[in-house]
Every structure is written in C-alpha cells, then in structure tokens.
Amino acid sequence: MTIILNDTEIKDIENFCLEMPTKYGLPIIQYLQKLATDQNPVINEKETSETVS
C-alpha cells in the first residue's frame, strides 16, 4: 500500500502532531521527516557540479 501526501497535507499532519503530547507526536514527526528525506534526498552542489563536468 502506498500513501502519497502533498506538502500541505504533511504540514497539517506535523502541526497536528505538535499539538499532541511529546510521547506520541515526536516519534510520528521523526518518522515523517525520515520518510521525507528518504524519498527526497538532498543533492549536494559539489556532487551535482562534478556530475555535470
């Protein structure tokens, strides 16, 4: 099963989680951040310039 969320939906979920107690909200936020970085890796400018050269 795949769930695809847009940026607005993710922000809404993050804001909702921030209102919850840290015991529940923080692990959910950390999980969402991990998913975001796994699905959208940051491209280092050095790597990009080396690849283009």
Q: Please tell me which residue, 37 or 50, carries the higher pLDDT value.
A: 37
Residue 8: per-residue pLDDT: 93
Against a cut of 0.85, is the pTM above it?
A: no
- Number of C-beta neighbours around residue 11 at 10 A: 11
**3-40 per-position pLDDT tens digit:** 888 899 989 988 887 777 767 778 888 888 888 888 88
CA angle 9, 11, 16 (to 5 degrees): 95
